Every structure is written in structure tokens, then in C-alpha cells.
Structure 1
Amino acid sequence: MNSTWWKEAAVYEIYPASFKDSNGDGIGDLKGVISKLDYLKELGIDVLWICPIYQSPGEDNGYDISDYYAINSEFGTMEDFDNLLKEAHARGLKIMMDLVLNHTSDQHPWFIESRSSKDNPKRSYYIWREGVNGMYPNNWESYFSGSVWEHDGKTDEYFMHLYSKHQPDLNWRNDEVVHGLYQMIRWWLEKGVDGFRFDAIAHIVKAKGLPNANNPQHLPVVQAYQLFSNLEKVHLMLRKLNEEVLMDYDIMTVGETSGLGPEQALEYVGDKRHELNMVFQFEHMTLDSASNGTGKWEMRSWTLLELKKIMSRWQTTLHNKGWNANYLGNHDQPRPVSRFGNDQEYRVQSAKMLATWMLTLEGTPYIYQGEEIGMCNVSYDSISDYRDVETLNFYEHANLQGRPGDQTMAAIRAKSRDNARTPMQWDDSAQAGFTTGEPWIKVNKNYEEVNVASAVQDPDSIYHHYRKLLALRKKNKVFVYGEYKLLLPLDPELYVYTRTLNDERLLIILNFFDGTPVFQWSDELKNASRELLIANYELPAEEDKNMFMLRPYEARVYKLT
């Protein structure tokens, strides 16, 4: 196993608009991030993943970029960014940018020119087609509901947008587009950034000819992921990007690649592929959605057996061949403690258990802002309190379909991306210490109880559990490189596994629910000497040598010899 800094690093994702506001305008900014660098260093973080801060109209919270070379004035200036880079590096922290290469804003100069006329030199920078018999060019459905096609009256043609109509897709079959993006990426690397998270990178190549998707129900639009996700040419494009730009720098790269399993992931991250260092997998993120993940808003119950099967496949398939990116939450997902834990009676215990899980798997761990204090999903009273374009589109679409309003709001409270985008809860003062003004999105009502200041003061808090886990990971290479082996695969309540590196071995025991299951020591484990490295409950002075009963959401990590 080749050791590298990005395998041993812990990443903290910052959603700038909601992290820390320095000037009272209600929107987080770069100076706010700088003011919290010491906090992040103390936590034990190595890399800061900064969500998009480029110039943007904000139709999709910055993922609609109008100028790749400029900082959004809401977040500050390029001087502020240079200062962030300088101050982070001075503390031994690295900066990973979030970069969108699949699409731009419809306000990007390229698109303004592209839509100006059919014969404009930049027309083919984007994907334009004529309608077919007064209908869309094909039947593909957008991630944000409706068709991927938007009619443009000036030229009487349609442009493609896999996401919002304000996010037209770039045409990666145009060499001028590709080289323009290469030039921009190199510009940021020369500035000194330490890596990129490539948003929606699996979608940059669409099926040749843009054919219709299979449509047995004859719907106006249908899901067509197989025609624009993870196509073979994506790998050619990524290898070229690596060869021509990325390999000249000592950086980390992670791709957002939905809809694949670990075998397909190796095509991106295999040690000899020379494409990406790691990818975000989504299989565990779709466990609570109907239709095998295609219906995000249709809830279903998940089982621990399903979760163990998914995670174990990724852990074992990539071992010694590629590298995992481990996460439970991000800017697009509900809060982990509300989704996989218990954010009421056992919020602290379940948040610690989930942290123990994520930080003892093989792969680079990603912590989303607020996870380290157990921030929860928000439950707004009205749809008017929500800001996420995907959420608002779903609400409108559900109303048109006649879906009961209470069902729609229940789905939104469980799954809206705004669950992760409420302001960071720094203390129990007004607006949770996030801003002195009116925040762009309402603060979660539980901020007086759940906040950084109280967590730092409490030695038994979720925050200090993260600190201890991150310190253990830095001290013991087995946490990083040890081979994963699942134990008790059919146990419906306990998730138990070992990590082994040479003669070092860890045993991780996790109770995923609020029951009190019994763990039986096997003969092999019973005879090994064991040292408790970390737990989320105080252990009794004496325990039966053969078995013990776990408490709700209990987590233990032993070192075995």
C-alpha cells in the first residue's frame, strides 16, 4: 500500500454561505472562514474543502459559475482568498476547491455568446438541439425535475441542463472548451490550492447522438442516467486532464460520481488508472429512498444488513487497488445524526457512534461542518423558509401532481438539502453566533443546546470524541491502511469489523440502534489481549469475559494483540 498525505488526511467540508459571517450581511464569507482556522486545526483537520466561492448569480448556491477566475463578492475578494490560502498553509492546513466542470451559469460569458446566434463561434461550447415535432429533443429528465431541455426563443432551439435551467451543460466534445477549462484549472493550481473536488464529473460526457431513454410508460420525460453518467469516454477525458495538468502538482482529487458500484469506481480510482484519487459513492445515500435510489423524496426503511453489505463491498473491493472517500453528510445530504442516528434522546451517543464508524473505515474521512457537534435536520414551519432550488422544484411538482401537502413537507423535512445548509451554530447568542445580521436562511431552533462553545467546554461532548478519534488516526497507521474484515454479517443490530495492518489489529463494535444487544466474544477474540482505545460510554469496572450487553448506540474500539 503506497502511503500518501491525502490518504492520511482528514477533510472538513465548508459551505461558506453558512459557516461564519464576518460583516453582518447574513451570508458567511472568507474572512469568517479565516477567523475559524484555529478551531479547525485544534479539531484535528488537515484539509478544508471549500464549496464554490466563484462569481455566481446563486441560482444553485454557487454551483452555477459565471466567472471561474473571480470570487463572489458575497464571500469577499480574491485578496481575501489569497489570505485564506496563506493563513491555512501557515497552520499546516490545505485548501481543496470545489470545481464544477459539467456546466456553467447561464450568465457565463461563454453561454451569453453561445445563445446569441446559431453561427456564433461559441455556439458549440454548449449542447444545442432543435425540437422534434414540437417536443423536446429527447426525453431525458433533469435532476431538478422536468426536462433537461430549455427552449431559447431567440434562436428557436433547446439547450441541455442536467440540473437547473440556469446551469447549461458544457460540450466536452469541443476541444476549445476542454482547453479553456485546463487553463483555468492550472491557474488555480499555480495559486497554490491543494486539490479539487470535481462536482458532477461523471456527467461530462453524454451518449453520442443523445438518443431517447427507454420509456415503457410513455411519460413526457424519464430518468436517463445510463445515457449521461459514467460513460466510457469520461475516463479518457479524465486521463487527459491528469496527463496535461494535474500530475504536475502534488494535490488530491475527489470526484462526485453517482450511480456506480465499487467495481466501476476502480475505473476512476484504480492505482494504475491515473484519473482521480478517490470518488464519492452514493449507494449508502440511497438506502432510505424508494426505487433503488431513483426516488429521493419517496422514503423507505433501511436495515443494517443492507448498510453493512454496501460498505463492506466498497471496503474490500478497493483495498490495495484504489482508495475510498468516507462520508455520511455533505451540503447535499440530510444531517447524519437525524438520518442514521437518533437526534432526540440519543443525539450525543448516536453522533459519537457514527463518528467512530466513519473514522475507523479504510479511506479518507470527510466531515461536514457541524457534524462534529451533532447538528440536526431543521424542521421549518413553511415552505417559504426553504431556499434550495431542488426542494422548491419538488414542492411545486408535488402540488401539481396533487400530492397531500403534509406528505410533501414531511419528505422535505427529511431530505431537503437545506438540512445541511442552516447556519453553523457557534454559540447560544442570537443567530447562533453565525452573524450579527439576518441570516440568509433561518438558524435551527436547537442552537441554544447544540453549539460549538458548549461542546468545546464539555469534555464528554461529540466535539471531543471527534478530536480523540482524529488524534488516534494520526497516531496509528492501522486506522488508515489496515485491511477491513466484517464480522457478524447477519447481526441486525451490531456492526462489527476488524482493521489489520501487519501485526496491528483493531476491533470496532458498533450498536446501530437503541436496543441492548449482546456481543459474544469468539474464542479467537477472547484469547487476545485487548486495550480499549476509545468508547462513547464509560465502561464498567468489570465485565464478563465471554460477553457483554451494549447500551443504545454504543461504540467501542479495541486494540488487539
Structure 2
Amino acid sequence: MKANWHRNTLIYQIDPSLFYDSNGDGRGDLKGIIRQLDYLQALGVGALWLMPLYRSPFKDAGYDVSDFMALDPRFGSEEDLRQLIVQARERGIRVILELVVQHTSDQHPWFQRARRDKNSVYRDYYLWSDEPVDDGNQPIFPSVEDSIWRWDEQAGQYYRHLFYRHEPDLNLANPKVVEEIERIMVHWLELGIAGFRLDAASHLVEQAGRGDEEQGVWVLDRLFKYMTRINPEGVLMGEVDVEPERYSHYFGSGERLGLVLDFWVNNHLFLALARGEAEPLRRAISQRPAPPDGANYAVWLRNHDELDLERLSEEEREEVMQSFAPQENMRLYGRGIRRRLAPMLDGNVHRQALAQALLLSLPGTPIVRYGEEIGMGDDLSRPERLSVRTPMQWNDQANAGFSSSQSLAAPVIDEGPFAYTNLNVAHQQDDPDSLLTRTRTLLLARSRLTEVGDGKAQLLSVSHPAVFAIAHVCDDTSVMLANLSDETVDVQLEEMDVQGFEEVLADGPYPHSPKSSLTLRGYGYRWFRRTGSKQQQHHGE
């Protein structure tokens, strides 16, 4: 099963510039992550997903890459990355890097050469046109860019950019570009990384197919083959924000993406939280195709971008907005929410723990964003998506213990209920009722329930609309329940009797009750498990 480690791990997403500053320059770095590896190990983390580390002008948090083969000096050296990989591995933690190859920075030497000379081999590395072309695509950031085409005076043509104007799109249909990407992959894989998170994977595939997704999946076949030649256990985790019936293109039969980031379930999870009802989440899970052997979905609550709600209907989207982003400055791009999870849930520790329990019960590999385990807030005074990108809050010392510098990569949150002075790791570390303690208990318990990653998921019918219930059946069987409402409920499980199951985790102690009827407090959760030996005994009775 080792080759499928990604089906049964916990991924922790880190923005390296905002996690921990080891040298006092105001920016987080690789040595800072190394210093916090014991903290991450104690959370039960099995893999780190690091946001971009490459050389960059940093107009887009490093997603605007100017040199894929070099680390940006602000993060440290290649030796630092090698040390992180080695020391993480000693703690059973793998390292996943971003692969940002749908576009480059306009400062990348390829683009500089392309714009200077129409006959350069690099000209065809990008997408050019004498006139803007309507290819059905709209700007990804509609409030910032009004077109996906930008006139370049030096080149004498328009170039295409789905994202920002300083991020020209690569021509992935050009085999030479794909060869360049393979060289990039080799460079980082040989350092010992466990795989890549493929940024904008669905756009990348369309570009490789000249606008046709089904024609473009060859690029995933090729990148997967290339990666597994160097690291047979390597994984590609793809950002695929498409309708669920299209997910199968990205999985193939397991030889493309090992993990598909599931925006469909993510959107419906928030609709379920907004309604306090399980039905949207049940519906979303039942409508997505089963992943092939060896592959899985990746599931999460919040990430580094806006909470993009495009997979919901207009009415459903507005319902989630009204619940979690009632004010205009909490919304972004006409489709999403630019808030962290904790403020969306009013800082309610019980509700945040319930959201984590719900996430960890889903069929899929869970991702937790740094700071979510302590309930970090956001800074809505920062532009666009930067509102959810603030320094990690380690303690109540200056700069939240993130850095000793006077000048930081981003301001710390120092006002309101989410200020670092009262919300930080140190305050919560030994408090049995804190969100950190609750989340750590959940994460560690989930890491031991291998049937959630390896087994077959079965949605369970219950007698109350607020309760989400699911079983994961393998050699062992787990049953997980979560109450999305704030009221205590009693439920009957209709398909599965938990007689003979052991309660492995709950939001607090529950009085003994007949197993046919289960009580859940408001925002309560309970996990039960029966091991293989007990199952055989049960079936033999």
C-alpha cells in the first residue's frame, strides 16, 4: 500500500513566507519550517504542501515564476530544502511542491526572448495573436482584468493571460514547453520531494489540447510517467475546478492525477454548513465519480484563495454568501468569499471543530491550511486574496512570534477577537478545551483510521436532516456522525447498527445509551469503529 500513501495521509498547506522567520528578515523561510517540524508531527501531519518557492517578482505570491530551476533567496538555499526533506522524512512527513506551469511571470527569460524576436524558438512557448480571440475563456480575476489578451508593444502582438496581465499563458501544446516542464520536475524530484501540486491543472490541460480538454489530457499522462520514473511513489495533485462528471478525464485509470482537488464537494460542504443540513453534502458526494484504484480526491475547508463558489447555483451561492459573507468587502470576483474559516463561523470553537470533524469524515485526503487548527482570522483591509494570507500566530510576543523583524512580509492580525495577543499556538497548546487541542485530537484519530482512505465509503441515512453520517468499510469499519445544527439531537442509524462498535472519538463525553439511538450535542460529532476481528465475531454470531 506504500505506493498509495497519498490516499491515507493528512496534508498541511504552508505559505513559506508567512509560517516562521528563522533569520529575522521579516519573511518566513525553509529553516523556519524545519524549526516547527515537531509541532507539525504532533498534529499528525503526513505531508506538507508548500506554496511556491521559486524565484519570482512576487506580484502574485510567487505564482508568477521567473525561474523554475532556482529557489527565491528569501526562502533559503537548495541545501535548506534538502534538509527540510530529510528532517521531515525522519518524522514520517513528505514534502509536496507547487508546479506552476500554466503560465510564467512576464519577467521570465522565455517571455523576454519571445517578445524580442518573432523568429525565436521561445515565441511559440506562449500564445500570441494579431487580434484578441474569443476562445470562450473569461478573465480569472474579472474585477482586476477586463480581458485575457494584452497588447505587447515590443512583440507587436497580443499575448494571452487567463490570470494577471503579468502572467502570460504557456503554449502547452508545444512539445518543447512540456520538455522544459519535465526538466523542472526532474530537478526537484531528485532532491527527494514526494510530488507536485499542479496549479491551474484544468486550464493547463485545455491549453495542451488547444482548447479541447479530452485532447489535452496527454500532458497529464506524460508528466505522471516522467515523475514516476524518478519517484515511483510520486503524486500529482491537481487544481481541477470543473463539473464533477469531468473529473474522470483528470484521473484517467490512475495514471494521471493521484489526487484531484475537489471543489464540487468543497462548495456543497459550505452550503450544508450554511443550512445546518447534511443534504447538500450527501448529494455532492453521491454525484461525483468514484476515483480509480490508487487515486483519490483531496478535500479541504479553506485554502489560500477566495472560497470560489462557482459550482453552486446562483441561489445556492447567494445563500452561502448571506450566511458567511454578508458584507460586500467580504466577497471577491463576483463568485467567492475572501474570509478565513474562523470568522465565517463567528469564532465559535465548537462549530470550527465540527467543521474539521466533518472534513475528516469525508471520502478523500484531507488538507488543513496553516493556522486553521488554532482558528486564525483574516485581514479584510488587505487587497483581494491577501486578506487570508497573514503570518502564523505562534505566541503573544511581538509579531505573534513569527519574526523578530520590524518589517514583515505581511502585517500580523493585532486587533479584534482574532488578534495574536489572545489567539495563538502557545495559549492553546495545553488547554484541553482549545480548538488546537480538539483539532489535534481529531487529526491524530483520523490518521489511525486507515479504512477512511483505503475502504469503501457508504453514506448512511439518519432520522434527522442536520446529521451527516458515513461509514468507511475495509478490514475495519468506522462510522462517523456530525451534527451541523446548534441543537442537541437524537438519531437512529437506519442502515448500520453500531452494536459492537467502540467509540473512538467524540466532541465530549456522552451518557451511555442504547446503540440504536445516538445523541449528538449541537455541533457535536462522534466516531465509532469496529476492528476486523470484532466484525468476524459479529458476523459469526
Contact kept? 1:267, 1:273, Cα under 8 Å: no
**Secondary structure of 2:98 counterpart:** strand
Q: CA separation in 2, counterparts of 1:302 and 1:114?
A: 53
What CA RMSD, in Å, does the superposition of the two structures yield over aligned residues? 2.8
Q: Secondary structure at the match of 2:96?
A: strand
Change (3 A) 1:94 1:3: closer
For residues 111-260 of structure 1, the aligned pairs below 5 Å read 111-131=111-131, 140-145=137-142, 146-206=146-206, 227=211, 231-249=213-231, 250-260=233-243
Q: Say if 1:371 and 1:19 are closer, same or farther in 2 by CA, change over 3 A.
A: same
Partner residue, 2:456: 483
Cα distance, 1:80 vs structure 2:
2.2
How many Å separate the matches in 2 of 1:59 and 1:467? 35
Distance 1:284 1:470 in 2: 20
Q: Retained in 1: the 8 A contact 2:43–2:444?
A: no
Are positions 1:269 and 2:251 aligned together? yes
- Tell me how far 1:14 sits from its aligned partner: 0.7
C-alpha deviation, 1:302, in angstroms = 8.7
- Residue 523 and residue 99 in structure 1: after superposition, are their counterparts in 2 closer, same or farther (change >3 A)? closer
Shift in CA distance, 537/167, structure 1 to aligned 2, threshold 3 Å: same
1:500 is the counterpart of 2:481? no
Q: How far apart, CA to CA, are the structure 2 residues paired with 1:85 and 1:529? A: 42
In the alignment, structure 1 residue 313 sits paired with structure 2 residue 309: no
Which residue identity is paired with 2:246? Q
Cα gap change, 1:169 to 1:319, in 2 (>3 Å): closer
AA aligned opposite 2:285 = M
CA contact (8 A) 2:269 2:280 kept: no
Task: Give, in whole Å, the separation in 2 of the partners of 1:524 and 1:330.
Answer: 34
Q: Distance in 2 between matches of 1:289 and 1:351?
A: 12
**Counterpart in the other structure of 1:353:** 354
Alignment of 1:529-548 (within 5 A): 529-540=500-511, 542-543=512-513, 547-548=517-518
**Aligned-partner Cα distance in 2 for 1:492–1:173:** 48
Residues 423-452 of structure 1 show CA distances to partners (whole Å, capped at 9, x for unaligned) of 111112222111223333222332223211
Q: Is the 8 A contact 1:509 1:557 kept in 2?
A: yes
- Structure 2 residue 253 is the aligned partner of structure 1 residue 281: no
Tell whether 2:346 aligns with 1:343: yes
Helix, strand or coil: the match of 1:102? Answer: coil
In structure 1, the residue matched to 2:523 is 553
> Which has the higher mean CA deviation after the structures are superposed, 449-458 or 103-112?
449-458
Residues 251, 309 of structure 1: alpha-carbon distance in 2 compared, 3 angstrom cutoff = same
- TM-score, length-scaled by structure 1: 0.80
Q: Is the 8 A contact 2:254 2:293 kept in 1?
A: no
Q: Deviations over 1:470-492 (max 9, x none)?
A: 33334343232222111237843
* Secondary structure at the counterpart of residue 527 of structure 2: strand
**Per-residue deviation at 1:422?**
1.3
Secondary structure of 1:506's partner? strand
Query: C-alpha offsets along residues 448-472 of structure 1, whole Å, 9 cap, x if unaligned?
Result: 2321112211133332333333333
String of CA shifts for 1:356-407, please: whole Å, max 9, x gaps: 222233322211111222223x253xxxx414xxx2xxxxxxxxxxxxxxxx
Alpha-carbon separation, structure 1, partners of 2:251 and 2:456: 18
The answer to whether the 8 Å contact 2:207/2:216 transfers is: no
Query: Which range moves more in the overlay, 37-46 or 472-481?
Result: 472-481
Matches within 5 A, 1:21-40: 21-40=21-40
Whether the 8 Å contact between 1:129 and 1:137 is mirrored in structure 2 is no
Once the two structures are aligned, what percentage of the paired residues are identical? Answer: 33
Deviation at 1:91, TM superposition (A): 2.8
Match of 1:432 in 2: 400
Q: Which runs of no fewer than 5 residues in structure 2 stay unpaired?
A: 308-338, 536-541
CA distance in structure 2 between the aligned counterparts of 1:38 and 1:549, rounded to whole angstroms: 36
Write the mapping of 1:355-370 to structure 2, written as runs, cut at 5 A.
Answer: 355-370=356-371
For residue 296 of structure 1, what is the aligned residue in structure 2? none
Provide the C-alpha distance between the structure 2 equivalents of 1:453 and 1:484, rounded to a whole number of angstroms.
37
**TM-score, normalising length: structure 2:** 0.83
User: 1:424 is paired with a residue of what secondary structure?
Assistant: coil
1:73 and 2:83 correspond: no
2:333 is matched with which residue? none
SS of residue in 2 equivalent to 1:61? coil
Residue 116 of structure 1: how far off its partner (Å): 0.9
Aligned residues: 488
- Matched AA of 1:351: Q
Give the corresponding residue for 2:391: 423
The 3-state SS of whatever aligns with 1:158 is strand
Per-residue Cα deviation, 1:411-431 (whole angstroms, up to 9, x for no partner): xxxxxx334311111112222
Contact 2:8–2:452 (Cα < 8 Å) also in 1: no
For 1:404, the equivalent position in structure 2 comes to none
Q: Is the 8 A contact 2:173 2:207 kept in 1?
A: no
What is the deviation of 1:548? 4.8
Cα deviation for residue 209 of structure 1 reads 11
Partners of 1:247 and 1:327 in 2: CA distance = 29
Counterpart code for 1:335? R
Call closer, same or farther: CA 1:454–1:173 in 2, change over 3 Å.
same
Give the Cα separation in 1 of the matches to 2:293 and 2:425: 38
How far is the alpha carbon of 1:208 from its aligned partner?
Answer: 9.4
- The 5 A counterparts of 1:508-523 are 508-522=480-494
The letter of the residue matching 1:386 is: R
Q: By how many angstroms is 1:331 displaced?
A: 1.3
Structure-2 separation of matches of 1:490 and 1:150: 56
Counterpart CA distance in 1 for 2:247 and 2:440 is: 30
Residue 180 of structure 1: how far off its partner (Å):
1.2
**Does structure 1 retain, via aligned residues, the 8 Å contact 2:19–2:402?**
yes
Q: Secondary structure of 1:32's partner?
A: helix
Mapped partners of 2:404, 2:25: distance in 1? 8
Aligned partner of residue 525 in structure 1, secondary structure = coil
Contact 1:130 1:137 in 2 (8 A): no
Q: Which residue of 2 aligns with 1:93?
A: 93
Contact 2:128 2:157 in 1 (8 A): yes
Change (3 A) 1:267 1:321: farther
